[in-house]
Amino acid sequence: MKNAVRRIGVLTSGGDAPGMNAAIRSVVRTAIYRGIECVGIRRGWNGLIHGDILKMNASSVNHIISSGGTMLYTARSQEFMTEAGQLQAVNTCRLLGLDGIVAIGGDGTFRGCQALSQYGISVVGVPATIDNDIACTDYTLGYDTASNTAVEAIDKLRDTMQSHERCSVVEVMGRNAGHLALYVGLAVGATAVLVPEKPLDFENDVVEKIRISRLRDKTHYVIVVAEGAASAMEIGQRIKDTIALDPRVTVLGHIQRGGTPSARDRVMATRMGYQAVEVLAEGHTNRLICAVRGVLEDVDMAEGLAMKKTLSEQQYRVLEAMTGV
Ligand code: F6P
């Protein structure tokens, strides 16, 4: 017979993402709804090591569904990568009587979950990163809001680039993946998009795209560069050195991580948080919540993390068509 789950903890770890607060709210409310106590663990895995705990009730999560960031703070914990740190975290779990942890974050967060589960603590992960780079899920929280933030910024840049007949080189986040850049590039009608998944051929991928665009009577250009593909500064300099343009470079940076979560992020966060508690309450562990073709599922964490996410070839072909004539 399964042991009843009486008390769980929730934490956010790694880079923050819009929708994390909505996910915390959902975990807390679902737990209470199911008669499970829930405590907040602040500052990611560091909080579990040092017992940085916040008591939660249904009203602790009032009014956070619409705010960016995370009310529990977040961190990338070096200490948790050590055995001593992990043992201390396990000790905190035992002292607090935690039957399980819902960890909201990305790849690094889930590696932390795996470490903790080796000591018999039940863990469930909720994917939240603006990079959308977790292979087993079509969607990670924050991706939609970050895309919209980048699109809004680039639309503004376009106005001034159009007026001055200039070239804009914009660097977007994404770490080693180009999902965000490709999606944003499609949304803004970019002249060219550089992603790490495609080896850079400057002549073909940049110079030729600008030439094609010029033939279409365009006098301003937007080049979207994924941070994992190249540095926007370098691309801007190469454009200047190669053709008669004087590009302006913008690195969007952390602005992409903030802001009011979109409706999609709020709803996905609420659904995923709910599902995470359900999975823990059913007595499962080492599971990752995933969205697969719109349906929420949970997969084995090790299997999910072993998968490799590839760039959407369909989206890339569409981009080739849009930038190729
Ligand atoms: O993983 C999210 C992310 O924003 C990446 O896109 C980016 O490379 C990284 O985090 C930046 O991390 P930091 O907050 O440590 O600067």
Ligand 1 within 6 A of CB of 277: no
Q: Is 100 helix (H, G, I), strand (E, B) or coil?
A: strand
CA distance 70 to 258: 10
| DSSP assignment letter at 128 | B
Q: pLDDT tens, 65-122? A: 999 999 999 999 999 999 999 999 999 999 999 999 999 999 999 999 999 999 999 9
What is the band of 1 on the pLDDT scale with cuts at 50, 70, 90?
Answer: very low
Strand partners, 249: 169
What is the band of 234 on the pLDDT scale with cuts at 50, 70, 90?
Answer: very high
Q: pLDDT tens, 13-43? A: 999 999 999 999 999 999 999 999 999 999 9
- Closest CA to ligand 1's atom 10: 15
Mention every residue, 6+ apart, whose C-beta is less than 8 A from residue 19.
128, 141, 142, 145, 261, 265, 266, 268, 269
Pocket mutation for ligand 1, best pick of 111, 171, 173 (most atoms within 8 Å of C-beta): 173
Closest CA to 178 of 60, 284, 319: 319
Ligand 1 within 6 A of CB of 198: no
The secondary element (H helix, E strand) that includes residue 34 is none
Residue 41 has which token pair?
A: 């663990």
Is the predicted pLDDT of residue 3 greater than 70, yes or no? no
